[in-house]
Amino acid sequence: MTFSKQHRSLFIGLLLVLELLVACAVLYLVLQAFVQPVIVTQRNERDEIFMLAAYGLAFKEWDGDYGQQKPLRGSNVAAVLVQDDKIVAYGLNREFEKRQLLYHAEMDLVLTYLDKLSHTQKNVATLEAATVYVTLEPCLMCFSTLRTLGVERIIYGERDMAHGSIKALQGSYMIHRPELIPAPTPFVNQLNVGFSHASTVQGMSLRKWLHRQAVKDIYQSAYCSLLVYKLRYTENNDALKNAQNFLQETPGTMPTCK
């Protein structure tokens, strides 16, 4: 039995279509297995609320711009400490102010809070069952400090690919290791994408990026979104009110929300 050129072309075409259908089916199965829908739980809604508060704090305490005004306090990084759904302490990067590289936002938070506790508690102060929300992935120094003090969870914003603790901890087997969780808010992605572009196109460092107007605008948007936040879970009402009141009571620049 012989095939004409027309028949052979048709046969080859059918084989290509069949291969394409098989490839699509395989891709669908892979996506079904690995790409899960985003499910908003009561817990990650609460995490988003307090992360927005950390961004709002960074906006209110905004410190200078390398291109216009030299920063006086430090990088625009903020952290808040939450216990029992309440912000009980906060910290800011104060490297320039203190003239010490030790003073990251997490360290400022810890030193301030533990000093306060030392005057009211007889036992050694710890941060057991606490959650820290920080606008930038903590370095290994800050992670280790929070770990030693018993912090249960660390919710972080923008990635620090050069000095962040996630890369340093790969393959580590720690007895007590706080959860390192990316913040469930779209503002994290905006910051990561923005810095990726700035570093690739302009060769910008993360330190300089954190003083750019683009970052300040994202922080302000996060602050504004907290002011009009719509709850999915009424159980988070107290957490939302606490976060909103915290920003209202903290000194600093108020945002201009549209």
Compute the distance between CA of residue 93 and CA of residue 97 in angstroms, rounded to an integer.
Answer: 9
Q: Which of 106, 152, 158, 249 is catalytic?
A: 106
* DSSP annotation string for the chain: ----HHHHHHHHHHHHHHHHHHHHHHHHHHHHHH-PPP---HHHHHHHHHHHHHHHHHHHT---BTTTB--SS--S-EEEEEETTEEEEEEE--HHHHT-TT--HHHHHHHHHHHHHHTT-SSPP--TT-EEEEEE--BHHHHHHHHHTT--EEEEEE--TTTBHHHHHTT---SS--EEEE-SSHHHHHHHHHHHHHHHHH---HHHHTTSHHHHHHHHHHHHHHHT---S-GGGHHHHHHHHHHHHHS-SPPP---
106 assigned to active site: yes
CA angle 187, 32, 46 (to 5 degrees): 35
Compute the distance between CA of residue 50 and CA of residue 134 in angstroms, rounded to an integer.
Answer: 10
Q: Which residues are catalytic?
A: 106
